[in-house]
Amino acid sequence: MIENHRLTSARQFPSPNQSRRPVGMEIDLLVIHNISLPPQQYGGGWIDDLFGNRLDPEAHPYFAGIADLRVSAHLLIDREGRVTQYVPFDCKAWHAGESCFRDRVNCNEFSIGIELEGCDEEAFTERQYAVLSEVTRELMAAYPGITPDRITGHSDIAPGRKTDPGPCFDWQHFRRCAGFDELES
């Protein structure tokens, strides 16, 4: 359930990396990402640290190059299907960067970003697909501008710059789990 622009079932971990959306801006895009810190490693709380601007650059060699990034997402779905919310949906999370969807630039202005704990080289878990599908249906109910054809990957809005959610994300499986095939029948 979404109340006051927050997913009530999610653990709340506010990120400072957010800003106000333009007045009157309709939320009408959902962007799927993947993240793992360090790459291809799961758990450990490093994503919270990155989105909370407290990632220790000395904790892992990879972190030295990203510790100063100021990024966030609205939600993270970890490998077990647990959901963390970093930014309320009525605010901009800093997830898309330089981006364009159907000739509209700066997708952060009008989108919700969901990170799946994972990487381009490994399959996502069934639990992640189930939770992503449930959360997507809830977002579509709360923000009717998000329709099945307005759900995209980071790679689609930032081609050549981003690859996520990656080739291991099964779009057809996600669409079936979310019930989009039924909507199109």
In this predicted structure, the answer to whether residue 84 has a pLDDT above a threshold of 90 is: yes
- Going by pLDDT thresholds of 50, 70 and 90, the confidence category of residue 182 is low
Percent of the chain with pLDDT over 90: 97
Specify the pLDDT at position 183. 57
Q: Is residue 78 part of a domain?
A: yes
Q: Is residue 185 part of a domain?
A: no
Q: Is residue 70 part of a domain?
A: yes
Specify the pLDDT at position 185. 44
Question: Between these two residues, 41 and 181, which has the higher pLDDT value?
Answer: 41
- Going by pLDDT thresholds of 50, 70 and 90, the confidence category of residue 74 is very high
Catalytic residue among 26, 58, 109, 115: 115
CA–CA–CA angle 105, 27, 87 (5° rounding):
95
Q: Is residue 184 part of a domain?
A: no
Mean pLDDT of the chain: 96
Q: Which domain covers residue 7, as residue numbers?
A: 2-177
Domain count, the chain: 1
In this predicted structure, the answer to whether residue 70 has a pLDDT above a threshold of 80 is: yes
* Alpha-carbon span 80 to 57, nearest angstrom: 27
In this predicted structure, the answer to whether residue 30 has a pLDDT above a threshold of 60 is: yes
Find the mean pLDDT for residues 6-32: 98
Q: Which residues contact 73 (CB under 8 A, 6 or more apart)?
A: 33, 35, 51, 86, 87, 93, 95, 113, 114, 115
Q: What is the DSSP letter of 116?
A: E
Active site residue 115: yes
Q: Provide the CATH number for the domain around residue 146.
A: 3.40.80.10
Find the mean pLDDT for residues 135-144: 98
Specify the pLDDT at position 55. 98
Q: Is residue 25 part of a domain?
A: yes
Q: Is residue 103 part of a domain?
A: yes
Q: What is the pTM of this model?
A: 0.97
- Going by pLDDT thresholds of 50, 70 and 90, the confidence category of residue 63 is very high
Q: Is residue 16 part of a domain?
A: yes
Q: Is residue 183 part of a domain?
A: no
